[in-house]
Structure 1
Amino acid sequence: MLAALAVNVGCPVPVEVLIERVWGADPPPGARRALYAHVARLRRVAERFDDTGQGRWSLLRRAGGYQLALDPDLVDLRRFQRLTGQSGLPDDEQAALLRGALELWRGEPLSGLHGIWVARVREAWHRKRVDAVIRLAGAEVRNGEPAAAAGRLTDLQGEYPLTEPLTEALMRALHATGDTAEALRCYARTRQHLVEELGTEPGRRLQELHQGILRGQPPHDARRVISAPARPAPSLASAAPSAPSAPRLSGIGPPASGMPPAALYPSAPPRHTRQRPSIVPAQLPMDVPGFIGRVDELTRLHGILAEARQHPTAVVISAVSGMAGVGKTTLALHWAQRVRREFPDGQLYVNLRGFDPGGTPVGPERAVRDFLEALGVSAAQIPGTLNAQVGLYRSVLAGQRMLVVLDNARDADQVRPLLPGSPGCLTLITSRNSLTGLAAAEGAHLLRVGLLAPAEARDLFAARLGAARVAAEPTAVDEIVVRCAGLPLALAVVAARAAARPDRHLTLLADELGAAICRLDPLETGDPGTGVRAVFEWSYRMLSPQAARLFRYAGLHPGPDSDATALGALAGVTAERARELATELTAAHLLTEHQPHRYTCHDLLRAYATERGTEQDSEAARTEATRRVLDHYLHTAYTADALLTRRHDPMTLAPPVTGSLPGQLSDYDEALAWFTAEHPVLLSAVERTPDGCDSYTWQLAATLTTFLERQGNWQALAAAHGVALDAARRSGERVGQAAAHRGLGLARSQEGHTDEARRHYKLALDLFADAGNHAGQARTRQNLAKMAWAQGRHLEALNHSRHSLKHFRAASDRGGQAIALNDMGWYLAALGAYGQALTHCRQALPLVEAIGDLSGQAHTWDSLGYVHRHLARHDRAVECYNRALALFQQTGERRSEAVCLTYLGDTLEAAGRPAEALDAWHRALELFDDLGLPDADRLRAKVRERAAATL
């Protein structure tokens, strides 16, 4: 662990990177927990070394990772680089520095670590060592010490017989000592190795040196020594024999310093350079292969970037606008991929879906939250309001060089909150609208993308289809270009169809395209949209009947993308058959597999699919398809929510319609993964359910409540239940209205609006009571109890919990009863009634064990530990807390694990076990810092105070 951190001494290293470095690409399930334990131990070691005066170092928590704070010169490779990085010195001074650097090299670097990253780093460091030896040899030969150089080079040349610069340096040293024969034998051995193993002759420089020695050229000729291979050298790792394992990573000098061993650092930045974010996002989608044309637009964008370099105090924004399908996104992503190295702190990307037909654009509150998560901000650290989120987002980007791509924006208001607030970042926006407001207020550079010129369109078609085929039928290609109206999307669709029929003449394809235009639009107006519709029609008519039907129904899908199972529900076919049909549609460029096994389509194509469906499918068939896909999402979400909560749901669903393919989820992890992938679709479905489907609206929102609550996504929770409340009122469903009020109460409570939250909870209680819904009343009472507890009203919290237990018993919900009993035990203990508290918690435990609710078991054991601690039964409390911790780690409830560790530390301290208490608090502090919990500083102060008291 220390080695993995020391490789980047002075810079933050993300947790995921540390795990890969220590355990490789396939870490064990408990790697993250083990990592936190290692960090805690290293911190204790650091404190001991600090106390002994043998050197000061520490391990700091940074957003998303850890940073080793240490004098860089105490890390062997950093010192190695400093000693080898000085040039322009006299040969004797240079030689002294290089000898000092090479003395730091002891044993195999990163001994004990394995994996691809380690192998790559080791090879890079071996190259640096070889380079240093070669440079030292040159200085020693020029200083009249060729024998010393020859001895060192001979040993190393045996390890790397294929490295030509090493052979060159050894030949020069041997020739300088007068052992010309050995220099020639050295050349012969190297040539033999190269011919036998690589099938190649030595490079030009080595051959010229060999000829010079044969001609009797003086040994001091050509005083420059190559420090890098004249051509790509073979892998040093593969050329070198396996080094014996060393008991330590490498030397840290001086060895008597008492510091622990550290690792070599591959490319140390200057000591005071600006640090990059601990997580470097790289969100840009793939570039389109064979990008053609747009020379003027690319030149303009490069000019904007050059201007940004010249005026670093400016916040640079470029807005690329143009009609649908003209290639705005393709241009933006192609340019962004070309210049991404100009932005070493990363690239952020979001599709704002500003013109998604029938859909809802991605709001700035959702986009900025996604950006914060991509930048390594944990959910617990994300504020509840948009203004605070924007402030945090801009603070994280302050001083960074980040490229932000905002694709498919509807208007300026949608993108303004997503603009960085400090220089160094560049924002690239695409939109069908011109966004002139950004130019006026934010100084944006406006760039309009027009239709392709005929020559560019022809080049694009050739790039997709092959130059030879295009050159064979120039007249047909010209006609296709005209029919496609210079629109890249239309050209891509036609090229895909032509590529699928390589045996067919392009003339026939052009005739078919022309006929389609004549049939659909006999009064052609020249509007590019008309030609595009014809192109889509032409490609659509080539589909199999089932693929065409799936394409039409794709216009009914409620979300931004879909998996094969949801597509199967739309079309009324199996998921396997839907996947086959999706493959046919992606081959025709009518559907895009933008992520593995997830499909989407351009909004123009979606609009066309809706148009074709309206014309060809009956209203009844379209309604059935819509209900199938809504039932698919609703029943799968209902199952997933039940796996997350283990409690009876207040609502009862109608049976799913035939063909809806509800997901078969089996455990907590599958449920969480499904919600993580599908919640954007579910939120979109809540917002855009068609007329007559109000029940789906509030039921989908209800299934999302627990997931959004645990994610801390209060804005999405409030928005979904606001829509749900309107829908439930329209349909007159009391349970739906109650569920929506409960969801709004939960969101408002977490946002700090307690009066409004209490009003929503009271309305929910009344509506659930009118409907005779005990499960809904029980859950609402639980929410009221938690809010009262947070405000210090413990008796009120206990009273709500008692009502909750009564309702859970009426609903025959054993899992709910267990939670209510445990809550009552906790509140009673806080009020000092420890005997009653113990009774309630003990009643809860067998109930949660019977239903397999691991989370409920963990919280119950935690409560039992709390009660026993206050009864001074410290050993029993420690046992309870340890059982709770094991379960929290199993369920992944890290916040609860952190709090439990804090209580465990308090108990161990009370039991007279201060060292164990400090260990528990250290482990808790790691989690507090990682999750951004507000009490981290208070806990840190306690740890320091107790640590000082134990000295």
Structure 2
Amino acid sequence: PDRDQFYAAAADPVPSPPPGALPAEPAPRQLPAAVPGFAGREPHLRQLDALAFDPDTGDAPATALVITAIDGMAGVGKTALAVHWAHRVADRFPDGQLYVNLRGFDPTGTVVSAAEAIRGFLDAFQIPAQRIPVGLDAQAALYRSLLAGRRMLIVLDNARDAEHVRPLLPGTPGCLVVVTSRNQLTGLVAAEGAHPLALDVLDRAGARELLTRRLGARRVAAEPEAVNEIIDRCARLPLTLALAAARAAARPQVPLTALAEQLRTTTGGGLAAFAVDDPATDVRAVFSWSYRTLTPEGARLFRVLGLHPGPDISAPAAASLAGIPVDRVDALLAELTRAHVLAEHAPGRYTFHDLLRAYATDRAHAEDSADDREEALQRILDHYLHSAYAAAQVFDPHRDPITLTPPQPGVTPERVADAGGAFAWFTAELPALMAAVHQSAAVGFDAHTWQLVWSMADFLDRRGHWYDWVALQTAALDAARRVGDVRGQAYGHRGLGLAYLELRRFDDAYAEHLQAVELYSRLHDLAGTARAYLNVARACDHLGRKEDALRNAEQALDLYRKAGIPAGEARALNSVGWYHGQLGDHRQALAFCQQALDLLEGIGDRYAQAYTLDSIGYAHHHLGDFPEAITAYRRALDLNQDLHDRRFEADTLNDLGDTYRAAGRADAARDAWKRAAEILDELGHANAEKVRAKINQ
């Protein structure tokens, strides 16, 4: 109905936002769930309050940027303190809370870079990919601009050092930043004026309070000597105390004296030294205590999870990693979370404390053979490859396919129903997928490397992760070269060229696409060569070489016809038509684009139909046939709206407005431009002002 009213009236203007106006930005609420049974730390909580708020008004200071740096050993409760306090004061920061685990000490070495963290924050603000600039410095500047004038709480968890967090600091007062790290962040204290807060193990009262909250006051009071021994054996470390409490809570009929005796006699003790020495060795006694309570299946899942390359894992991926049915893995994951050796940090997603991950990896190397560990790694790489490939095909069913080796037995790839499901899956799994690419390259699974990147490419492009795309494509190209996979190399050059186009490195893009042409030609792959020629044409167009662009598009068209691929032929026909129009031959443009449209309608490729109808509208406009141009643009607009392609909907509305103006229908032109500007405002696109400028002409 709205569409019909727009077409019929073209004179009932939609109210336009004032110049420069943008929709209200969202208030992110990214804090993870507070740690249950948090205990002790009252002096530290009071210290945080004193650092953060004016003692008279209780407000955060409006004239200073407050940074608090919490440091301490692994397992001492830095994250628990920061998150607990953040929840307690969240209502004093009405513009939202940001949180990121920077994974500065992750056993896998997969550290979250400042660039990744900033991109995650920009996504939390729902900044569209089209509005996110290229380069870390520009993205950091946009991030700081979004924080300016806001009262926000920002928790930067598990930082490696001061340099790790500097790009994430706001540039203006009003925000409060809490940083946690195992290292003392003296550089942050010296240069940014951060307030250090050193966290040690719990005092005896705090340790007893933790056990009381988890076991109940009556049980703790009934066996004071056993409780004291458990506290001593756990070295008053919150992580090990929580594991001991979980063990006791699961066995309410067992006296605490017996549990203390079990801990005392467990090999690998020496926990008293844990307060000052390397925790990775001394904590094993408590970890092994929890580990021994697991069922054999649960213990095996715990071990193989330590081999997983990513920061967290879904239940289906865990099933493939272990080679067990999906309907069995949920019960095992629940067993691990009940034992507090695994955490469900988001619905359906599981993660380790990094000490527990290291312990799980140690157990895998001690108890499982090298062949078993390699098979588990291949299963998880197969899972991600086949799941990502299926999602990529949902994104674009007409994309030239690649051939995958069947997955190993026990792998159950995930499937998505539609493009929205594919987008959600890639969003959730991106960190794990990137880690899988690097892991596959490190261990020599080179086919997985380049095929994973192939499967991720559309998502990386649509989300604007172009620097990541370049890095991953480079890894893919190196992997293909190592094994002499010419097809993988051809794709690597083509993918690099596409990423370079988005980064406006047009000469580099042109060179990469020429190499792709040469390699696909060597393989006698007509469709691959044709696709590469279309990309060469795009690079030529950006370089201002319109005749070369047309010639390359014509070569692509000839190859697609020889290969008998109608979808490719149709897209090439549209490209040939578009370049004829760019060279001023609009009748030829119309003829080619109409042929493309006829093919696309037969195939059912609605996305390409929308783009081709826009090309047809452009040709009719420049031929002076405004009614036909309007008809083509309206059809493209209908498709864009049905496909929820807001970006191209705005482009089509803008073009439609231009045609209305040329046809002398000024009111309809203004209406179309207003609608285009509103959409571009919603997307945060820079072209909004250019479109709005036409309204007052």
Given the two structures, how large is their TM-score scaled by the length of structure 1? 0.69
For the 8 Å contact 2:497–2:508, the answer to whether it is kept is: yes
Instruction: Give deviations 1:836-865, integer Å, cap 9, x for gaps.
Output: 323322322243334432211211222222
Between stretches 304-313 and 414-423, larger displacement belongs to: 304-313
Q: From 168, 177, 195, give the equivalent of 1:427.
A: 177
- 2:550 and 2:624 map into 1 onto residues whose CA distance is 24
The DSSP-based 3-state class of the residue aligned with 1:380 is helix
Is residue 571 of structure 2 the alignment partner of residue 819 of structure 1? yes
Query: For residue 814 of structure 1, what is the amino acid of its counterpart?
Result: P
1:568 CA drift (Å)? 0.4
1:335 CA drift (Å)? 1.1
- 1:821 and 1:783 map into 2 onto residues whose CA distance is 14
- 2:684 and 2:65 map into 1 onto residues whose CA distance is 30
Is residue 403 of structure 2 the alignment partner of residue 652 of structure 1? yes
Aligned to 1:8: none
Higher relative contact order (CA 8 A, sep 6+): 2
Instruction: Give deviations 1:129-159, integer Å, cap 9, x for gaps.
Output: xxxxxxxxxxxxxxxxxxxxxxxxxxxxxxx
1:921 CA drift (Å)? 1.5
For the 8 Å contact 2:129–2:462, the answer to whether it is kept is: no
Taking a change above 3 Å as real, the CA distance of residues 286 and 667 of structure 1, as seen in their structure-2 partners, is closer
Query: For residue 64 of structure 2, what is the amino acid of its counterpart?
Result: A
Taking a change above 3 Å as real, the CA distance of residues 521 and 396 of structure 1, as seen in their structure-2 partners, is closer
**Counterparts of 1:22-37 in structure 2 under 5 Å?**
none
Note the residue ranges of structure 1 that are not aligned, 5 or more in a row.
1-29, 48-57, 66-277, 946-951
Query: For residue 33 of structure 2, what is the amino acid of its counterpart?
Result: M
Is residue 143 of structure 2 the alignment partner of residue 393 of structure 1? yes
1:513 CA drift (Å)? 2.2
Query: For residue 466 of structure 1, what is the amino acid of its counterpart?
Result: G
Aligned to 1:409: 159
Q: From 347, 357, 373, give the equivalent of 1:596.
A: 347
Aligned to 1:520: 268
Is residue 112 of structure 2 the alignment partner of residue 362 of structure 1? yes
Is residue 418 of structure 2 the alignment partner of residue 673 of structure 1? no
- 2:14 and 2:458 map into 1 onto residues whose CA distance is 41
Q: From 564, 577, 582, give the equivalent of 2:328.
A: 577
Aligned to 1:500: 250
Taking a change above 3 Å as real, the CA distance of residues 896 and 298 of structure 1, as seen in their structure-2 partners, is same
Taking a change above 3 Å as real, the CA distance of residues 63 and 471 of structure 1, as seen in their structure-2 partners, is farther
Q: From 665, 671, 685, give the equivalent of 1:933.
A: 685
For the 8 Å contact 2:160–2:181, the answer to whether it is kept is: yes
Whichever of the two has the greater Rg, that structure is 1
- 1:523 and 1:297 map into 2 onto residues whose CA distance is 24
Is residue 52 of structure 2 the alignment partner of residue 305 of structure 1? yes
Q: From 662, 672, 676, give the equivalent of 1:910.
A: 662
For the 8 Å contact 1:921–1:939, the answer to whether it is kept is: yes
- 2:562 and 2:264 map into 1 onto residues whose CA distance is 71
Aligned to 1:480: 230
**Counterparts of 1:171-182 in structure 2 under 5 Å?**
none
Q: From 354, 362, 367, give the equivalent of 1:616.
A: 367
- 1:802 and 1:837 map into 2 onto residues whose CA distance is 13
1:877 CA drift (Å)? 2.5
- 1:692 and 1:636 map into 2 onto residues whose CA distance is 20
- 2:650 and 2:592 map into 1 onto residues whose CA distance is 24
1:811 CA drift (Å)? 4.7
Aligned to 1:371: 121
Query: For residue 548 of structure 2, what is the amino acid of its counterpart?
Result: E
Query: For residue 531 of structure 2, what is the amino acid of its counterpart?
Result: R
Is residue 289 of structure 2 the alignment partner of residue 541 of structure 1? no
- 1:938 and 1:282 map into 2 onto residues whose CA distance is 34
Is residue 412 of structure 2 the alignment partner of residue 664 of structure 1? no
- 1:932 and 1:787 map into 2 onto residues whose CA distance is 26
1:307 CA drift (Å)? 6.4
For the 8 Å contact 1:818–1:844, the answer to whether it is kept is: yes
Q: From 466, 469, 473, give the equivalent of 2:219.
A: 469
Is residue 505 of structure 2 the alignment partner of residue 757 of structure 1? no
Query: For residue 499 of structure 1, what is the amino acid of its counterpart?
Result: A
1:926 CA drift (Å)? 0.9
For the 8 Å contact 1:498–1:509, the answer to whether it is kept is: yes
1:292 CA drift (Å)? 1.0
For the 8 Å contact 1:593–1:600, the answer to whether it is kept is: yes
Aligned length: 687
Aligned to 1:456: 206
Aligned to 1:635: 386
Between stretches 458-467 and 879-888, larger displacement belongs to: 879-888
Aligned to 1:344: 94
1:582 CA drift (Å)? 0.7
Given the two structures, how large is their TM-score scaled by the length of structure 2? 0.93
Query: For residue 244 of structure 2, what is the amino acid of its counterpart?
Result: V
Query: For residue 539 of structure 2, what is the amino acid of its counterpart?
Result: M
1:720 CA drift (Å)? 1.4
- 1:787 and 1:912 map into 2 onto residues whose CA distance is 36
Between stretches 686-695 and 587-596, larger displacement belongs to: 686-695
For the 8 Å contact 2:514–2:536, the answer to whether it is kept is: no
Instruction: Give deviations 1:488-507, integer Å, cap 9, x for gaps.
Output: 11111221222222222222
1:583 CA drift (Å)? 0.9
The DSSP-based 3-state class of the residue aligned with 2:402 is coil
1:814 CA drift (Å)? 2.8
Query: For residue 902 of structure 1, what is the amino acid of its counterpart?
Result: N
**Counterparts of 1:280-319 in structure 2 under 5 Å?**
280-306=27-53, 312-319=62-69
Query: For residue 369 of structure 2, what is the amino acid of its counterpart?
Result: S
Query: For residue 357 of structure 1, what is the amino acid of its counterpart?
Result: P
Aligned to 1:852: 604
Is residue 100 of structure 2 the alignment partner of residue 324 of structure 1? no
- 1:714 and 1:771 map into 2 onto residues whose CA distance is 28
Aligned to 1:793: 545
Aligned to 2:497: 745
- 1:299 and 1:388 map into 2 onto residues whose CA distance is 37
Query: For residue 719 of structure 1, what is the amino acid of its counterpart?
Result: A
Taking a change above 3 Å as real, the CA distance of residues 523 and 899 of structure 1, as seen in their structure-2 partners, is closer
Between stretches 367-376 and 330-339, larger displacement belongs to: 367-376
- 2:54 and 2:195 map into 1 onto residues whose CA distance is 11
Taking a change above 3 Å as real, the CA distance of residues 734 and 539 of structure 1, as seen in their structure-2 partners, is same
- 1:553 and 1:679 map into 2 onto residues whose CA distance is 21
The DSSP-based 3-state class of the residue aligned with 2:350 is strand
1:529 CA drift (Å)? 4.4
Query: For residue 582 of structure 1, what is the amino acid of its counterpart?
Result: L
- 1:408 and 1:485 map into 2 onto residues whose CA distance is 22
Between stretches 294-303 and 428-437, larger displacement belongs to: 294-303
1:897 CA drift (Å)? 0.9
The DSSP-based 3-state class of the residue aligned with 2:648 is helix
Aligned to 2:556: 804
Query: For residue 536 of structure 1, what is the amino acid of its counterpart?
Result: F
Q: From 582, 597, 622, give the equivalent of 1:830.
A: 582
Taking a change above 3 Å as real, the CA distance of residues 895 and 544 of structure 1, as seen in their structure-2 partners, is same
Q: Percent identity?
A: 51
Is residue 197 of structure 2 the alignment partner of residue 447 of structure 1? yes
For the 8 Å contact 1:64–1:376, the answer to whether it is kept is: no
For the 8 Å contact 1:829–1:837, the answer to whether it is kept is: yes
Is residue 444 of structure 2 the alignment partner of residue 696 of structure 1? no
- 2:642 and 2:243 map into 1 onto residues whose CA distance is 49
Instruction: Give deviations 1:863-889, integer Å, cap 9, x for gaps.
Output: 222223333333332222222112212
1:749 CA drift (Å)? 2.4
Aligned to 1:131: none
**Counterparts of 1:19-98 in structure 2 under 5 Å?**
44=13, 62-65=21-24
